[in-house]
Amino acid sequence: MLELSHVHKVYRVGAFGGGRLRAVRDVSLTVEPGEVVSLIGESGSGKSTIGKMVLGLFRPSAGRITFEGTDITTIRGHAARKEYYRRVQGVFQDPFSCFNPIFKADRVFEMVRSSYFPRTSDAVWKDKVLDALATVRLDPGNVLGKYPHQLSGGQLQRLLIARALLLDIKLLVADEIISMLDASTRIDVLNLLADLKERGLGILFVTHDLSLGNYVSDKSVILRKGAIAEMGPTARVFDNPLHPYSRHLLSCVPQLHRTWAEVDAELEANPPEDVTLPTADDGESAPLIEAEENHFVGIDQG
């Protein structure tokens, strides 16, 4: 459904744009219907840039991004982009920033109606909205007719997902969507994503939290400085990490049964390996090898 092939993104930085920052380097991956693919990495690893390129907010500097066989960089004109966003939508980290504070929550749905369903009758539209709210487990009486400040972050995040579902989307880009939510609300949103996956929705899940990626995803992509360090089925990546950077990340995950003093003592006795992502002579990322079936890892070219 979604395929990224040797995608690069370079930003111009510095005075008069004279510098170059390579944010994404030679990334290739796929997302299939009913599959959750997690992009996992620290800040600056390129994961959000990849999500924004998939949403057409940024153009790749090189490579191709195709959705259902169409190169999205070739989409031109309002009508074509509108059709693309009928099938692909994004939900972002801060739900409060996605709402106009002077408009009630109903306005989110009315904007979708006016843009995509202008000829839909009031009765049909009402049923469609109620179905979308039921899918995200929201009570219409508790959210409709209220201003954003009257709703919780979890309610607002689910409202945004409901808005996307009104369009019968096939792919959802979820960029750090639960990082600002409390623990009790996080599990509700994660379980909602699992339900949507069962309905056949493809999800590109962007996160810096390893535990979340492990919980929700079918496939995990570990990013380091814009390139893929490791990629494969989540169980294999987490149970048998092959790249030093992946092992380093997993070793840093807090463990409830161990104190910080115990962890510090172990790290002092067995310091982590020097983790640098291998690069080729031309400054591009080194190619991935298939270490085991569908499990890829970046290697040093020596």
CATH number reported for the structural domain that contains residue 290 in this entry: 3.40.50.300
117-146: average pLDDT: 88
Count of domains observed in the chain: 1
- Name every residue whose Cβ is closer than 8 Å to that of residue 46 and which is 6 or more positions away in sequence: 9, 23, 24, 25, 27, 223, 225, 226, 227
Query: Does 75 have pLDDT greater than 80?
Result: yes
269-283: average pLDDT: 52
Query: Does 302 have pLDDT greater than 50?
Result: no
93-100: average pLDDT: 78
| CA–CA gap between residue 221 and residue 41 (Å, rounded) | 8
Range of the domain at 249: 2-298
The answer to whether the beta carbons of residues 247 and 78 sit under 8 Å apart is: no
32-59: average pLDDT: 89
Using the Cα atoms of residue 13, residue 17, residue 18 and residue 22 in order, give the sign of their dihedral: positive
Encode pLDDT of 139-192 as tens digits: 888 888 889 889 888 888 888 888 888 887 899 998 887 776 667 677 777 778
- Name every residue whose Cβ is closer than 8 Å to that of residue 212 and which is 6 or more positions away in sequence: 38, 178, 186, 190, 205
- pLDDT classification of 37: cutoffs 50, 70, 90: very high
Find tokens 């954003």 and name the residue: 148
Query: Does 265 have pLDDT greater than 90?
Result: no
Query: Does 26 have pLDDT greater than 60?
Result: yes
pLDDT value at position 82? 85
- Lowest-pLDDT choice from 18-32, 42-56, 84-98: 84-98
- Lowest-pLDDT choice from 17-21, 71-75, 149-153, 237-241: 17-21
